Amino acid sequence: MDSPTPNVSAAPYRPDFLREVEREVEGGAMVKMCMQCGVCAGSCPLGAHWEHSPQKIFMMIRAGRREDVLRSDAMWMCTSCYNCVVRCPRKLPITTIMHGLAQYSHRLGLAPKLQPTRDFSLRFWNNFRRTGRVNELKLTLGLYFKDGFVAGLKKGWEMRHVGLALLKAGRLDPLELLGGHKVKDSRGLAAMLDAVDEIERQDRAAAAAAASATSGPR
């Protein structure tokens, strides 16, 4: 169940926030179709542990609660199980919107900095971005030592049996720490990722044009 939002009367309301979401967030153009039936909130296997359910997030967007939405960690909790999507009577792409909101809040620098999913996403992305391969050893050690050297040693000791088993099975190569493997065509990879950035930029521009073509109160 959603926890009550404190200090609701003082929350900043931005009447143009729905339009901003339509413009900037993937799937955002569908938010206005939500009829607040609550099926998504009741279907989400993890929703009881979230600050806000998708139903509530969509209501807050329409109410203009910009800061409360973009600073929430609710969008980062979505596991992409698609339970809500298959049950939504209005066929909203709820999963896409939740991830789109998370990405947008990250782009604006409003996402909660210590949110674990965000932290892991960034580590994963930065780990493989240049080489095209995930260096699992560096990724794992980065996670172990993120809270300090002593905490990292402790975690490594706790997980030593798993590490040794992986080593014996040939699934862990300590030499990966010195650099690691990478795709043959690094330039091709960089060009492909640049192309994806460009496609996303064009999609946002098209969504912005569509949002500005429609006007009037919502």
Q: Write out the residues near ligand SF4 by the rule CB under 6 A.
A: 34-40, 43-44, 46-47, 54-55, 58, 78-84, 88-90, 92, 94-95, 98
- Residue 49 beta carbon to ligand SF4: minimum distance, rounded to whole angstroms: 11
Tokens representing 73 are: 């960690």
- Residue 161 beta carbon to ligand SF4: minimum distance, rounded to whole angstroms: 32
Of 60 and 189, which has the nearer Cβ to ligand SF4? 60
- Residue 76 beta carbon to ligand SF4: minimum distance, rounded to whole angstroms: 11
Of 88 and 207, which has the nearer Cβ to ligand SF4? 88
Of 37 and 196, which has the nearer Cβ to ligand SF4? 37
- Residue 91 beta carbon to ligand SF4: minimum distance, rounded to whole angstroms: 8
- 139-142: long-range contacts at Cβ-Cβ below 8 A with a sequence spacing of 24 or more? 141/177
Nearest one of 39, 41, 97, 27 to 69, comparing CA atoms: 97
Q: What is the CB neighbour count within 10 angstroms for residue 103?
A: 17
Q: What is the DSSP letter of 178?
A: G
Of 89 and 174, which has the nearer Cβ to ligand SF4? 89
Tokens representing 2 are: 């959603």
Question: Alpha-carbon distance 20 to 57, whole Å?
Answer: 14
